[in-house]
Amino acid sequence: MQKNAGKTVKIKPGTKFTLCSPDDLGSLDYTTSVILLNAYSSYDRGLLRSALRPSIRKNKLLPREIDAYNLCIHEYTHYLDLHCTVWGMEFVSRRCRALSRILEQGKEALSVTMLNTAEILMHKDFEKVHQKLKLERVVTKHAITYSKKYGAVIVVYLYRDGALIAETSVSMLSILEANAVANEFEGEYHWVGCTLGEVTPHQDGRIEAKYTQLLQDSSRLEYNIIHILVAIHFPAHTLRHRLRLVSALCQLALDMYALDLSMLANLINDAIKNKYFGDALCNDLCRGMSRQIVTFYLVLWLHGYIQHAKLTVDEVAKYIDGPLDELIDDMLEAVGLEHPLSRNMSDFEFRVYYNTLKKEPGKFILPGALKAAAHNRRVRKSQLATSRAFRKLMLPDIVLDDHAKIRPLSRIKASVLSHWDNMYEECSELDGMAGDPDVMKKFHMSPDDFGPMQQRRQIHMQKWMQEELDEY
């Protein structure tokens, strides 16, 4: 038990649950929606306050302020993905329902929740570094494998000079981290521009060198695998354009309407040669799972479409700076999607989860967080970049290592620490079960199950046979 502002709380300073983003410096806890910065304490509050308010005020940059700002933008992006997307609201809805029953029902309360959590925690089970070399001059290959624990999974293999260096899965964690990294580096550009008045060539080179270091780090595959794929397929584009592209594709997958996922499953299934595992993968997509593979295929298809349409680098750059949705819709139409993606239906599905959460026990949602989620979703429609919308976003306080707090520019007026303390018993119970192999698995359709993909192929076969008979 710890003392905080005269109150006894259950949480030990620096406490991290199992289900959290992996950075040691700071993390978003997906069990509680609390952001914890382990690298900072009450001693650093002045630094953090200054870092979160970039403005033209000095002739030189302070690396400690940049690092602090980047970390906050990174973790707040995780928070927004959890509270402003269809995937995130589904996750929170299932989590609240499980927490409300976990003390009475134990493992039985977690079966549905593990659909989402397993897709985050699965990453480490498939990550292997064969040679600790820089990921430079890499060539990638991919294949679908099957795990009884997680179902069908896409694994990306990274080669350098013909030798296998590393392999990793396309997991939900890799999509969430890719978006957070993209917003973090875009945030650094924004911070430098606000502080110096412009991003000088020297600063641009410094940021790109820092990014390249992350890209080449084989120990951070959950952060960089999507960025590596985009860098390979869009090598002529500037770093800022690649960052915006990664963020847009990741958020599109996280926010896609269920019916659109099913339609994309048909296209993805047609592109997969291994129908046995491919059917299982796309059957899951029809059920709203495995959204991470959407981002993977969007990268490949967008590259192919640009090559086929013979769009120049400048033409693509104009789309990235402006109507990127238009380019994506044109690409999807070219690969066979009959109808454009429905952003309005995505809003409808978000509202369904939103209204469901309003009826759940309030104990497991930070007071004001739902109202803020609806507000932040509207803000994100006009500005995806967390840093550029930072003053408009309503965000929770961040908890520092010793339980001090730092406030964002526009905050949700609620005590994050009291909220965390109130739900700590249930969250601790959930965390204790997260390492249980009987619990931490993804309910999925196996390759031998008959699902939407097999049914679709059967219908096509019957239609073809009937046409043959009619012609005969």
pLDDT block averages, 10 residues each, the chain of length 472: 50 70 84 91 93 76 91 96 95 88 80 75 88 92 90 94 94 95 96 90 95 94 96 96 96 92 90 87 88 95 95 94 91 88 88 89 87 95 90 95 91 92 88 75 73 70 61 64
Which phi and psi (to 5°) does residue 94 adopt?
-65, -40
pTM of structure: 0.92
pLDDT of residue 444: 67
Alpha helices (runs of H) in 197-312, residue ranges in sequence order: 201-215, 221-233, 239-254, 258-271, 275-286, 292-309
* Rounded Cα gap, residues 138 and 217, in angstroms: 12
Residue 314: count other Cβ atoms within 10 Å of its Cβ.
Answer: 9
Reported as type and span, the H/E element at residue 432 is helix 424-434
| Close Cβ partners of 312 (under 8 Å, ≥ 6 residues apart) | none
Q: Are strands 163-169 and 151-160 parallel, antiparallel or unpaired?
A: antiparallel
Task: Identify the three-state secondary structure at position 397.
Answer: coil
Residue 249: count other Cβ atoms within 10 Å of its Cβ.
Answer: 25
* Paired residues of 163 in beta bridges: 160
For the CA atoms of the chain, what is the radius of gyration? 23
* Rounded Cα gap, residues 92 and 202, in angstroms: 42
pLDDT of residue 1: 43
Q: Are 240 and 186 contacting, i.e. CB atoms less than 8 angstroms apart? A: yes
Q: Are strands 151-160 and 34-37 parallel, antiparallel or unpaired?
A: unpaired
Q: Are 327 and 297 contacting, i.e. CB atoms less than 8 angstroms apart? A: no
Following DSSP, what letter does each residue of 179-227 receive, concatenated?
HHHHHHHHHHHHHHHHHHSS--HHHHHHHHHHHHHHHT-TT-HHHHHHH
pLDDT of residue 6: 42
CB burial class (10 A; 0-12, 13-18, 19+) of residue 290? buried
| Close Cβ partners of 278 (under 8 Å, ≥ 6 residues apart) | 144, 152, 268, 269, 272, 453
Reported as type and span, the H/E element at residue 165 is strand 163-169
Q: What is the dihedral of CA 28, 31, 34, 35, to 10 degrees?
A: -10
Tell me the residue type at 151: G
